[in-house]
Chains A and B, each alone.
Chain A
């Protein structure tokens, strides 16, 4: 029964993957597409195996920086949203500046981050943070502002303190929104870290940069695969968290 459930979950997404990879493999093996444009999937996988030590070391750096950036985004994003939710004036005064995180071209300011933080993991963390904080702010704020007014009245009637109202009402109420923000933010943090690494030269980003300059397209794709899988793993982790937190009460997690 459970084996069957796993099979129904795993097999459908594998089908397009196998079909596409097979087609690409065929196209490259028959030289329909030149090898310097698209690598043979088998060659990219070979590169993943051959360069595994180097890729693994770079992966650890990137993972560290993305996770740190993502953690910062989670804490800072929720805190900023809580502050913005305190009142209309606060929101009108500061929200436009929070939007800057979303609109700033990260590729353009990444070189500045290196000036501020040096060629260090800190610059990479800052890059991951900048790219991933806004989804958390926007979604958490949305959740905090949509709390049922009758429940707020109820808490007032019982003389609940602001802190109690925040932790027992507002934050739990906003949790589904926060988790949606975190899903978007987790992938963004990995991208932000890799963009940062293009400048600092470390991690998977640095590795992609070097491999590309050396026209080792197999290695570029092998590294990209690792970066994407990492993003997907983070996404899966958030889904698991969401399931644990919301399964009893939110429609999105009911089966």
Chain B
């Protein structure tokens, strides 16, 4: 097995108001793995992601990892509306001190790979929800992160757009060789995207299922969603999730 990118040991999070979001959670994530975390709403998935990103401190346990560069994609695109698409994607590079010509070149490259070559000079208000999410994804990927965290990124989109973005994300993961942690409440999305799916219980979050999905083909096309193999895997995850809410 590859070296682990991230290891969580007995991580706990109790908020100041006494709500316990995560309880003694241990998890080892190998480098370049695509991990999906599925769980009921409000189960502490987002809190876990925020702790991994360093936006929140765990109240117990430890999070260790060699990931130097982390990128985070939120549920909504959260772009800067006063900047063009290109300038939005340049933003993380500005903080990294990358000179302007290189910034714009790298941003333009990544925008092309998410299919937004035509929209670079547009403002977020002129884009559809799906396009805005692509910009958000491009902004996350432009720093070439070793760890990409996504918190229900496509939840607000329609089904067709969502599947397009899933296909795209899977392809980008294949190209960029990064570790991905994808939080979702869609079982089909988790199974389609990930190499490994973890099912969380209701709050406080504990692991109910840690399931290997590498039985599915590495190259996943949209047609996979209709295969019996896909249905079988979906069923396993579905049953575990069902157990979480009796």
* Chain B residues with CB below 8 A from A172, complex form: 80, 82
User: Which one of B25-33, B68-76, B186-194 is at the A interface?
Assistant: B68-76
Q: Is the CB of A248 within 8 A of B55?
A: no
Please indicate the chain B residues that have their CB under 8 angstroms from the CB of A158 in the complex.
91-92, 95-96
Tell which of B53, B55, B72, B81 touches A250, judged by Cβ atoms closer than 8 Å.
Answer: B81
Task: Judge whether A160 is part of the interface by a CB distance below 8 angstroms.
Answer: yes
Does A162 have its Cβ within 8 Å of any Cβ on chain B?
Answer: no
Q: Are A150 and B74 in contact (CB under 8 A)?
A: yes
Chain A, residue nearest B50 (CB): A153
Using Cβ atoms and an 8 Å threshold, which residues of chain B touch A250? Answer: 81
Does B117 sit at the interface, judged by CB under 8 A? no
Asked whether B54 lies within 8 Å of A157 as measured between CB atoms, the reply is yes
A225 to chain B, nearest CB (A): 38
Q: Which residues of A contact B55 (CB under 8 A)?
A: 153, 156-157
- The residues of B that contact A164 with a CB separation of less than 8 Å are 94-95
Assembled-state Cα–Cα distance A148/B96 (Å): 22
**Is A3 an interface residue when CB atoms closer than 8 A count as contact?**
no
Q: A164-B95, A248-B123 are in contact. Are A157 and B78 (CB under 8 A)?
A: no
Chain B residues near A154 (CB, 8 Å)? 72, 74, 78
Q: Hey, which chain B residues are within 8 Å of A254, CB to CB?
A: 125
The answer to whether A249 and B123 touch across the interface, beta carbons within 8 angstroms, is yes
Binary B-proximity of A240-255 (CB < 8 A = 1, otherwise 0) = 0000001011100010
CA distance A202 to B9 in the complex (A): 76
Per the CB 8 Å criterion, the residue count for chain A at the interface is: 21
Residue in B closest to A247 when the chains form the complex, CB atoms: B123
Complex: A40 Cα to B215 Cα, angstroms: 93
B82 touches A248 (CB 8 A): yes
Q: Does B40 contact A (CB under 8 A)?
A: no
Kindly identify, within residues 49 to 75 of chain B, every residue whose CB is under 8 Å from any CB belonging to chain A: 50, 53-55, 70-72, 74
A160: chain B residues at CB < 8 Å are: 95
Q: How far in angstroms is the closest Cβ of chain B from A241?
A: 14
Chain B residues bordering chain A, tally (CB within 8 A): 21
**Is A100 interfacial (CB-CB < 8 Å)?**
no
> Least Cβ distance of B151 to chain A in Å?
10
For residue A151, CB closer than 8 A to chain B, the reply is yes
Could you tell me which residues of chain A, from 134 to 188, have a CB within 8 Å of some CB in chain B?
Answer: 148, 150-151, 153-160, 164, 168-169, 172, 175
- B81 near A157 (CB under 8 angstroms)? no
A169 touches B95 (CB 8 A): no
> Measured between alpha carbons, how far is A243 from B96 in the docked complex, in Å?
32
Q: Are A151 and B80 in contact (CB under 8 A)?
A: yes
Q: Which residues of A contact B39 (CB under 8 A)?
A: none
| Contact residues in A for B44 (Cβ distance below 8 Å) | none
- Cβ of B124 within 8 Å of any chain A Cβ, yes or no, is yes
Centre residue among A155, A159, A168, A246 by max chain B CB count within 10 A: A168
Expressed in whole angstroms, the minimum distance between the Cβ of A127 and any Cβ of chain B is 35
Q: Which residues of B112-131 are within 8 A (CB) of A?
A: 123-125
The CA-CA distance from A250 to B94 in the complex, in Å, is 24
Shortest Cβ distance from A246 into B: residue:
B82
Question: A157–B80 contact, CB under 8 A?
Answer: no
Q: Knowing A159-B95, A164-B95 touch, does A249 contact B72 (C-beta < 8 A)?
A: no
- Which of B78, B91, B125 is in CB contact (< 8 Å) with A168? B91
Q: How far is the CA of A156 from the CA of B54 in the complex (A)?
A: 9
Asked if A248 meets B95 with Cβ closer than 8 Å, knowing A150-B74, A153-B72, A157-B70, the reply is: no
A160 and B95 CA atoms in complex are apart in Å by 6
A154 to B149, CA, bound (A): 12
Contact with A along B213-224 (1 / 0, CB 8 A): 000000000000
A148 CA to B82 CA in the complex, in Å? 14
Chain A nearest Cβ from B169, distance in angstroms: 19
**Complex Cα distance A164/B81, Å?**
17
Q: Is the CB of A157 within 8 A of B82?
A: no
Report A-chain residues with C-beta under 8 Å of the C-beta of B78: 148, 150-151, 154
Known contacts A157-B53, A172-B82, A246-B82, then 20 further A-B pairs from the complex at CB < 8 Å, ordered by chain A residue: A150-B74, A150-B76, A150-B78, A153-B72, A154-B74, A156-B55, A157-B54, A157-B55, A157-B72, A158-B91, A158-B92, A159-B95, A164-B94, A168-B91, A169-B80, A248-B125, A249-B123, A249-B124, A249-B125, A250-B81
Ordered nearest first, which 5 A-B pairs have the shortest CB separation? A249-B81, A158-B95, A248-B123, A150-B78, A249-B82
